[in-house]
Structure 1
Amino acid sequence: MAHILITGSSDGLGLMAGRLLVGQGHAVTLHARNDQRAAHARAAVPDAENVLVGDLGSLDGIRSLAAAANAAGRFDAVIHNAGIGFREPRRVQTVDGLSQLFTINVLAPYLLTALMTRPGRLVYLSSGLARSGDPDLSDPQWTDRRWSGTQAYSDSKLFDVLLAFGVARRWPDVLSNSVEPGWVATRMGGPGAPDDLDQGPVTQAWLAVSDDPAAMVTGRHFYHRQERFVSAEAQDATLQDALLDYCAELTGTAI
């Protein structure tokens, strides 16, 4: 039995992964951004071990969740599932003066990774749109450019791959991988999404717990339990380190 934390798991793929792992006999801790959503998660997965509450839209909220997770004990695996999509018509600014999309999609998994007791496995949710992402860090907060939600989202999902691969290099004792779950009909994906929803949570759950040799790897990117090609940019150690250093500068916490 593995102990697993899944961020952003009060609905969508995170909740589905929680149900799947609980059904396999694992001890799952869910996460919600507020008490109301936490109550929904508890009702949806009554056999979950715990539900932690923390708003990932601020650095203090992320730190609070990390502290709560550490108080709950060491996790064998963390699935960094929480994220927001690309439909915002403008740049939304957090209380920290940062892009909300960048904060939730990139800084939250970064800072949780840096602050939490080191697990055996880390899984970062990316997207097929990462292939359209730009790793340029000259304006990741979109303060000097005209806002494009689609591009900002694509960039953030490429950053998640860079994060997974960068952590894999720095922490060789941890299995750190990224996943694209497919374009599926969740609230974020929309009702017309063409991929198989049932397959959406499978790969991240498999990477979190499986003893299959194909899952016991690090610094890889997966789609439907198969390794998938990523761009040369995602594999560039210089770009990985640049992102990690940028996140360390923003948060005051280094990996």
Structure 2
Amino acid sequence: MARILVTGSTDGIGLETARTLQQRGHDVVFHARGEERATALDDKPEVLIGDLADLEQTRELGRTAGAFDVVIHNAGIGGQDERRVTGDGIERTFQVNVLAPYVLTALMPRPQRIIYLTSGLESVGVADLDDLQYERKPWNGMQAYSDSKLHDVALAFAVARLWPEVLSNAVDPGWIRTKLGGPNATDDLPEGAETQVWLATEDGDALVTGRYFKRREDLRPNPAAHDVHFQDGLLAACAALSGVTLR
């Protein structure tokens, strides 16, 4: 039995992932943005609370969450109609989708396995270290989302490179019918959780690192994700914004 944290696990893919892991006998800790979402979970599981759009709450979560065998960075937001900044003055998509998993990774005790959720849209993400937050270029919500998903793959690969004792991988769950995916999505919830569950708990082909998966298939990501200069630049930018260094 593994102790597993799934961020953003009060609905959608995160909830399906956490419930599936529970059903398989694992000790699963849920994560909610706030108290209201946590109390809405019907069976009252163990829940960590922290708003990933708030830097201090994210840092506090990272400092106090404790140790896990597996961490699944599932939480994220989709493309936004307009550019919004958080109370920290950081563009919201970048803060929730990229900076938050970076901060949690850097501050929490190293698990045996880390899984970062991405999207097939990482393939059209742009590796622009000079304007990660769309401060100068015109806002495009779907492009910002695609960029953030490329960043997540690059983060997974950077952790795999820097922490060889940790299995760090990225997963595209597919286009899943959830609040985020929308009613026109092509795939059902169980398919969206299956690969993360496999990487989190299985042996054999799941014991790999620095890979990008969809439906357990090892895929080629956007080439920028493998670029060590880009990885290091992204880590440096996240460190400067958060005050937290991943070592």
Question: Scaled by the length of structure 2, what TM-score is found?
Answer: 0.97
How far 1:16 sits from its partner (Å)? 0.2
Instruction: Report how many aligned residue pairs link the two structures.
Output: 246
How many percent of aligned residue pairs carry the same amino acid? 52
From 234, 245, 250, the counterpart of 2:225: 234
Alignment of 1:15-30 (within 5 A): 15-30=15-30
Query: What is the alpha-carbon distance in structure 1 between the residues aligned to residue 142 and residue 207 of structure 2?
Result: 33
From 219, 222, 240, the counterpart of 2:213: 222
Q: Match for residue 97 of structure 1?
A: 89
From 195, 202, 209, the counterpart of 1:210: 202
Dislocated runs of 4+, deviation >3 Å = none
Question: Scaled by the length of structure 1, what TM-score is found?
Answer: 0.94
SS at match of 1:5: strand
How far 1:231 sits from its partner (Å)? 2.3
Q: Match for residue 75 of structure 1?
A: 68
Given the alignment of the two structures, is residue 135 of structure 1 paired with residue 131 of structure 2, yes or no?
Answer: no
Given the alignment of the two structures, is residue 39 of structure 1 paired with residue 31 of structure 2, yes or no?
Answer: no
How far 1:225 sits from its partner (Å)? 1.1
Q: Match for residue 58 of structure 1?
A: 54
One-letter code aligned to 2:14? G
Q: Match for residue 244 of structure 2?
A: 253
Q: After superposition, give the CA deviation of every residue in 1:103-142 in whole Å (9 maximum; x if it has no partner).
A: 0000000000000011110000000000010011111111
One-letter code aligned to 1:53? I
How far 1:180 sits from its partner (Å)? 0.1
How far 1:228 sits from its partner (Å)? 1.1
Query: What is the alpha-carbon distance in structure 2 between the residues aligned to residue 53 and residue 39 of structure 1?
Result: 11
From 132, 140, 145, the counterpart of 1:153: 145
How far 1:249 sits from its partner (Å)? 1.2
Unaligned runs of 5+ in 1: none
The alignment's C-alpha RMSD in Å is 1.0
SS at match of 2:116: strand
Query: What is the alpha-carbon distance in structure 2 between the residues aligned to residue 197 and residue 23 of structure 1?
Result: 15
Mapped contact 2:13–2:178 kept (Cα < 8 A) = yes
One-letter code aligned to 2:39? A
Query: What is the alpha-carbon distance in structure 2 between the residues aligned to residue 139 and residue 236 of structure 1?
Result: 17
Query: What is the alpha-carbon distance in structure 2 between the residues aligned to residue 64 and residue 47 of structure 1?
Result: 22
Given the alignment of the two structures, is residue 166 of structure 1 paired with residue 162 of structure 2, yes or no?
Answer: no
Q: Match for residue 188 of structure 1?
A: 180
